[in-house]
Amino acid sequence: MGSVAFYPGSFDPITNGHLDIIQRARRCFDIIYVGIGQNSTKARGRFVPGQRVQLVQTALTEIGLSSEKHVFVSTFTGVVWEAAKRVEADVIIRGLRALSDFEFEQQFAHTVKQFAPNIESVFLMTRPENSYLSSSLVRELSSLDQDISSLVPRCVVEALK
Ligand code: ADP
């Protein structure tokens, strides 16, 4: 089997920033599992986990990345490294946008190292044009009736209507 990477997050909803990370991660690893966390401590989101899975799958299909291309999407419960181990991932992917992401991500990577020493955390730097982009910004703009079509895949624009 080739290299396997697990990309966890809330994806509420998926944005062009997430999609870019998935595309670039797929060039580095043979199989990508996108994991949508079900037990985030974050407040109840805009979409339920099942809807987020659907949106990620549709968005990936729109850019030609689906299970045939070895990119899989599902929800997970429990800690990230256990979910990564269940799919036999050697790597956990995270995206980095700004210095403000770094502190959390460093703590997260150290925690993974402590509890799952065989898993590597790999960070992909966002593209400059996506560096301000987050799911919460998308939710906020959408609730204020702004055109978010340059920030998210088409299926998310439709779903937020
Ligand atoms: P979480 O709740 O774990 O932060 P998110 O769905 O917000 O989940 O993000 C999942 C991963 O994608 C995180 O590693 C995050 O830093 C990364 N990410 C989010 N938005 C972007 C973006 N615009 N560019 C690059 N990476 C991003």
Query: If you measure from the C-alpha of residue 80 to the centroid of ligand 1, how many angstroms do you get, rounded to a whole number?
Result: 14
* Marked catalytic residue, from 10, 121, 135, 142: 135
Ligand 1 pocket, 13 CB below 6 A? no
Task: Point out the residues of the chain with pLDDT beneath 70.
Answer: 1, 40-43
Torsion of CA 148, 124, 78, 66, to 10 degrees: 70
pLDDT the model gives residue 40: 56
* In 30-146, beta strands by DSSP E: 31-37, 71-76, 91-96, 120-125
pLDDT the model gives residue 135: 96
pLDDT the model gives residue 43: 60
Whether 42 is catalytic: yes
Ligand 1 pocket, 6 CB below 6 A? no
Whether 97 is catalytic: yes
What does the radius of gyration of the chain's CA atoms come to, in whole angstroms?
Answer: 15
pLDDT digits (tens, 9 = 90+) for 56-69: 999 999 999 989 99
* Marked catalytic residue, from 3, 42, 136, 149: 42
- Burial environment of residue 13 by CB neighbours within 10 A (0 to 12, 13 to 18, 19 or more): buried
- What percent of the chain has pLDDT above 90? 91
Domains identified in the chain and CATH numbers: 4-160 (3.40.50.620)
Torsion of CA 148, 55, 31, 24, to 10 degrees: 0
pLDDT the model gives residue 2: 82
Report the nearest-CA residue for atom 9 of ligand 1.
9
Other C-beta atoms within 10 Å of 3: how many?
Answer: 12
Q: Tokens in use for 140?
A: 């906020």
Q: What is the pTM of this model?
A: 0.95
pLDDT the model gives residue 41: 59
Ligand 1 pocket, 14 CB below 6 A? no
